[in-house]
Amino acid sequence: MNLAQRQLTALFKAEVKLIGRNSAVAATATIFPIGMAAALVFFGRENLGALGWALPVALQLLLMFGMTVYITTTLALTARREDLYLKRLRSGEASDGTILVGVSSPIIVLGLLQCLLTVAIVWVFGPAAPTNPLVLLAAIVLGVAMCATLGFATTGAVSSTQQADMAAMPFFLILLGTGIWAATNGAEGPNMLQTITPGGAMVDLARISYDATSTFAAQVGDALPALGALAVWTVIGAVSAKRYFRWETRV
């Protein structure tokens, strides 16, 4: 294990301990996804629309992206900057990238696990297995990456955790709102304008993943525009984070 890997591991363990000490956060991180997925299975069976299981699963995943990854990343990094934790880390040997990845990695891992747990619960108890799990997995990975990078960028616009709550709300509402908007097209799927939105891309990928009438190759081809949209949003977040992220408290 090289120096960078040891630094990442140490930062990851430190952040996990900080999260674990907050019983409310720890409980929410475990109970929330299980409870939401259970409710999805219980109420969803009799209330599925034209998109079948795809829409409720997509909206559930968007909630995880927005709450667990985006908002938590924004709040956590803002809080670490406020107490000068990031500044102290930066005075050491770790690179900027190592610090950001190390501090945010527990949140990213938690978001991935919550999303996978949701899909697994629906898969087993729905029962609703995605016909193309690879497309759904790619959507989850890109969705988490997008929200993490945009969370990094959002911290640059605020000076306190109180402001971070408000600053994170617009994109969170856009994420859910565009997902609901894209669902209005039903089984036909989102149009191109809807697909290039973050929520619309996720709804389209979930629709493709659970479509039992299409072949694997056709599903992969159909998924490329929405996957590309999420990748572009991730790049926008990364570029914005590089430009606007602040290591010291704003004045």
pLDDT of residue 46: 59
| Close Cβ partners of 173 (under 8 Å, ≥ 6 residues apart) | none
Enter the tokens of residue 4. Answer: 């960078």
Cβ atoms 116, 144 nearer than 8 A: no
Prediction pTM value: 0.90
Task: Tell me if 250 is assigned to some domain.
Answer: no
pLDDT grade for 23, boundaries at 50, 70 and 90 = low
C-alpha span between 128 and 115 (Å, rounded): 15
Task: Give the SS3 label for residue 152.
Answer: helix
pLDDT of residue 99: 86
pLDDT grade for 86, boundaries at 50, 70 and 90 = confident
Structural domain range at position 127: 3-244
| Helix (H) or strand (E) run with residue 53 in it | none
Count of CB atoms situated within 10 Å of the CB of 140: 24
CA–chain centroid gap for 53, Å, is 20
Cβ atoms 53, 44 nearer than 8 A: yes
The fraction of the chain above a pLDDT of 90, given in percent, is: 41
Q: What is the chain's alpha carbon radius of gyration, rounded to the nearest angstrom?
A: 19
pLDDT of residue 96: 82
Enter the tokens of residue 16. Answer: 């996990």
28-57 confidence digits (pLDDT tens)? 666 776 777 777 666 666 556 546 788 889
pLDDT of residue 43: 65
pLDDT of residue 51: 62
| Close Cβ partners of 19 (under 8 Å, ≥ 6 residues apart) | 25, 26, 29, 106, 110
Task: Tell me if 249 is assigned to some domain.
Answer: no
Please give the tally of structural domains in the chain: 1
73 pLDDT more than 80 = yes
Burial, 180: exposed, middle or buried (Cβ in 10 Å; 0-12, 13-18, 19+)? middle
The fraction of the chain above a pLDDT of 70, given in percent, is: 87
Task: Tell me if 58 is assigned to some domain.
Answer: yes
Task: Tell me if 251 is assigned to some domain.
Answer: no
Task: Give the SS3 label for residue 157.
Answer: coil
219 pLDDT more than 80 = yes
Task: Tell me if 196 is assigned to some domain.
Answer: yes
Task: Tell me if 23 is assigned to some domain.
Answer: yes
C-alpha span between 246 and 167 (Å, rounded): 15
CA–chain centroid gap for 94, Å, is 26
Task: Tell me if 156 is assigned to some domain.
Answer: yes
Q: How many CA atoms lie within 13 A of 42 on its CB side?
A: 6
